[in-house]
């Protein structure tokens, strides 16, 4: 019934080479990786990547969906992250004592919540009506809890020796991961296929409360979180990269179970899914099991490309976050993403500017001038669409963000004027290569790289060509990229203003009034 896909041919070829290489124990450089990774695609669109490492009888499994917060609209922001949580709540088979009974009860809970929401919206809604509905909801939820086997998927994986059972959502993708002893490969297949087919969105309303607390913990009580949110919301006006992955508070509150279920049934399906298995896994066995467990699932709906294009920024933007904390600074510049040559140029630039003690920004701002206690340089917030080159700095008392900002620009201007040296370039290439190899050490690191590049660049093979392309990027190109993108019009600056400074300002006003 199932057609042999073209991947099957490359699969069997790879197997031959694989046996050869594992016997000799090779250095996993880009060419080695090519032979080690076995790739296969099911007819329903699901992609499987396997990298065998037989030394220790464990493996790490990633299942990555190419759907993240970038795929959300105004009416469902936060839905990908909410689903990340909800898909831990079990299925029709896992996490329930009696799904048939539960199903009815879940519907009653939905209805009760809808009435409550409606009542809250209406001015005419009487307090005792509201109280009645709240009591009814509590009662229904308690009844429902009796039918739930709490967090049963976590229990099953734990009992079988699983570690790191978790998930994360980013702008570009959502990943579910766990590491298991090698003899539990079939358990993983069976559990994850069940999750794809049969997830039940139970305990939905309680989980929204958890996420509101998560939002407070990760953003609202952290100056860094607030500034990062402000940077994205200021630098992006049109592209959905402007919104936080977790959603804004009102987004989280507004999400309904119905729309969440629809989003899941459309997108959390084979066509958008990539599995990577790294460790003591036999590719042939993995392939057979993936066919057996996932082969009969419908492809689902392809995640649509994001059409929104951020218009070129035509003037510096500044935002201020007032917080009871010490000053900090974030500067971001729009830039192209993979596989543009300028993206490689920025990998080199960010290494030359910010990686290692002798990098330009660290050396000048932290060591020579003592203006900052630390500087960091990175790319954010995703990589599927054009993103930002970000420089973050912590001013060292009594120096101010203003001084630090000036000093950063002086360094950027110097690169735009004089470019970078060939030694710097060579060193940066080596650093990028070494760091990538370090990332490959753990099963988790390799598994995450494989699914990440598969989603972001369309194929994990982007990794193979990376060093080669990087070698062709010239000093002139680095300089030109800096000239093109590191301009005043293209930058967004976020500063943290300590709220006690704010208070003293207003008290001065108060005094003036009194006079």
Partner 1 sequence: MRSSMLKRIIRVAVLLLILGGATTGWGQEKSQGARPDDLEFESLRWNMHTPTRITLESGIKIYHQNNAELPLVDITLMFGAGRSVENSTNTGLMQLFARALENGGTQKVSASEFDARLDALAINLNVDTGPYTTTLHMSVMKEDLHRGLKLLAQLVRTPGFDSERFETAQQQLIEQVRRRLDNPGAIAEQLMLQHLYPEHPLGRKPTLETLGSIKRADLLHLHRRYFGPRNMYVAISGDINGGEATQLVDASFSAWEQETESAEVPALKEVSGGRESGPVIIAQRPLSQTTIRLVERGIKRDNPDVYAVEIMNYILGGGGFNSRLMREIRSNRGLAYSVFSHFSVGRRLQGAFLAGCETKAESVAEAVGLFTSIMQELRAEGVTEEELQLAKQSQINSFVFRFEDPHSLVTRAMEYDFYGYPEDYLTRYREHIRKVTAQDVQRVAKKYLHPERQAIILVGEVKEDEISSLTLKREMKNINPQDLL
Angle between helices 462-472 and 443-457 (to 10 degrees): 80
Binder of partner 1 out of 87, 171, 208, 335 (CB under 8 A): 208
From residue 510, give the alpha-carbon distance in Å to each of 23, 77, 322, 449.
79, 41, 19, 56
Angle between helices 341-354 and 475-485 (to 10 degrees): 90
What DSSP string describes 319-383?
EEEEESS---EEEEEEE--TTSHHHHHHHHHHHHHHSSTTSHHIIIIIIIS--EEEEEEEEES-S
**Contact status: 206 vs partner 1 (CB under 8 A):** yes
Site for partner 1 in 91-110 (CB under 8 A): 91, 93-94
Site for partner 1 in 167-186 (CB under 8 A): 179, 181-184, 186
Site for partner 1 in 370-389 (CB under 8 A): 370, 373-374
Binder of partner 1 out of 163, 298, 309, 410 (CB under 8 A): 163
Query: Which of residues 162 and 386 has its CB atom nearest to partner 1 in the complex?
Result: 162
**Of 462, 48, 495, 407, residue with least CA distance to 230:** 495
Query: Which of residues 181 and 299 has its CB atom nearest to partner 1 in the complex?
Result: 181
**Of 198, 177, 318, residue with least CA distance to 265:** 198
**Of 131, 146, 251, 263, residue with least CA distance to 202:** 146
Query: Which of residues 279 and 382 has its CB atom nearest to partner 1 in the complex?
Result: 279
d(CA 71, CA 173): 9
Query: Which of residues 250 and 515 has its CB atom nearest to partner 1 in the complex?
Result: 250
Binder of partner 1 out of 15, 29, 129, 306 (CB under 8 A): 29
**Contact status: 356 vs partner 1 (CB under 8 A):** yes
**Contact status: 19 vs partner 1 (CB under 8 A):** no
**Contact status: 17 vs partner 1 (CB under 8 A):** no
From residue 367, give the alpha-carbon distance in Å to each of 358, 363, 370.
9, 5, 5
Binder of partner 1 out of 134, 209, 285, 320 (CB under 8 A): 209
Instruction: Cite the DSSP H helix spans in 236-296.
Output: 249-254, 257-267, 283-294
Binder of partner 1 out of 31, 213, 476, 501 (CB under 8 A): 213
Query: Do residues 364 and 411 lie in contact, with contact meaning Cβ atoms separated by under 8 Å?
Result: yes
Neighbours of 302 (CB within 10 A): 13
**Contact status: 483 vs partner 1 (CB under 8 A):** no
Binder of partner 1 out of 262, 430, 489, 504 (CB under 8 A): 430
- Give the nearest distance from C-beta 438 to partner 1 in angstroms: 6
Residues in contact with partner 1, shown as a per-residue x/- string from 305 to 334 under the rule CB under 8 A: -------------------xxx--------
Binder of partner 1 out of 396, 461, 484, 497 (CB under 8 A): 396
Query: Do residues 293 and 193 lie in contact, with contact meaning Cβ atoms separated by under 8 Å?
Result: yes
Distance, first Cα to last Cα, the chain: 89
- Give the nearest distance from C-beta 364 to partner 1 in angstroms: 12
Binder of partner 1 out of 115, 376, 411, 442 (CB under 8 A): 442
Stretch that binds partner 1, among 8-16, 145-153, 256-264, 267-275 (CB under 8 A): 145-153
């Amino acid at each position: 019934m199932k057609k042999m896909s073209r991947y099957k041919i490359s699969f069997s070829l790879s197997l031959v080479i694989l046996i050869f290489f594992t016997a000799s124990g090779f250095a996993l450089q880009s060419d080695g990786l090519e032979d080690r990774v076995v790739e296969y695609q099911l007819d329903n669109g699901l992609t499987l990547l396997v990298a065998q490492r037989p030394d220790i009888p464990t493996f790490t499994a990633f299942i990555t969906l190419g759907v993240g917060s970038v795929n959300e609209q105004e009416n469902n922001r936060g839905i990908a992250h909410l689903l990340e949580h909800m898909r831990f709540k079990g299925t029709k088979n896992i996490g329930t004592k009696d799904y048939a009974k539960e199903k009815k009860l879940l519907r009653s809970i939905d209805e009760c919540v809808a009435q409550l929401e409606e009542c809250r919206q209406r001015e005419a809604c009487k307090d005792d009506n509201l109280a009645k509905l709240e009591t009814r909801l509590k009662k229904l939820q308690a009844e429902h809890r009796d039918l739930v086997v709490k967090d049963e998927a976590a229990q099953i994986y734990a009992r079988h020796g699983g570690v790191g059972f978790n998930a994360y959502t980013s702008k570009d993708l959502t990943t579910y991961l766990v590491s298991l002893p090698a003899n539990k490969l079939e358990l993983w297949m069976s559990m994850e296929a069940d999750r794809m087919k049969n997830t039940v969105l139970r305990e939905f309303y309680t989980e929204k409360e958890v996420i509101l607390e998560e939002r407070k913990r990760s953003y609202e009580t952290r100056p860094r979180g607030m500034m990062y949110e402000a940077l994205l919301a200021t630098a992006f006006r049109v592209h959905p990269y402007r919104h936080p992955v977790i959603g804004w508070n009102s987004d989280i509150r507004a999400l309904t179970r119905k729309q969440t279920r629809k989003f899941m049934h459309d997108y959390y399906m084979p066509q958008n899914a990539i599995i990577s298995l790294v460790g003591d896994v036999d590719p042939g066995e993995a392939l057979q099991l993936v066919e057996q467990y996932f082969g009969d699932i419908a492809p689902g709906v392809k995640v649509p490309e994001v059409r929104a294009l951020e218009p070129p920024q035509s003037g510096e933007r500044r935002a201020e976050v007032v917080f009871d904390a010490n000053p900090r600074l974030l500067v971001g510049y729009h830039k192209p993403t993979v596989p543009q040559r300028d993206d490689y140029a920025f990998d080199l630039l960010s290494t030359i500017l910010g990686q290692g003690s002798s990098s330009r920004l660290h050396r000048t701002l932290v060591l020579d001038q003592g203006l900052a206690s630390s500087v960091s340089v990175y790319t954010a917030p995703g990589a599927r669409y054009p993103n930002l080159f970000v420089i973050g700095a912590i001013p060292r008392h009594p120096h101010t963000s203003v001084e630090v900002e000036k000093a950063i620009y002086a360094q950027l201007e110097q690169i735009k004027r004089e470019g970078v040296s060939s030694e710097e370039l060579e060193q940066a290439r080596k650093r990028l290569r070494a760091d990538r190899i370090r990332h490959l050490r753990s099963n988790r690191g390799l598994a995450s790289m494989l699914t990440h590049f598969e989603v972001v660049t369309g194929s994990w093979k982007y990794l193979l060509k990376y060093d080669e392309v990087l070698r062709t990027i010239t000093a002139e190109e680095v300089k030109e990229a800096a000239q093109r993108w590191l301009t005043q019009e293209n930058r967004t600056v976020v500063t943290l203003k300590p709220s006690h400074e704010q208070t003293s300002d207003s008290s001065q006003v108060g005094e003036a009034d009194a006079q």
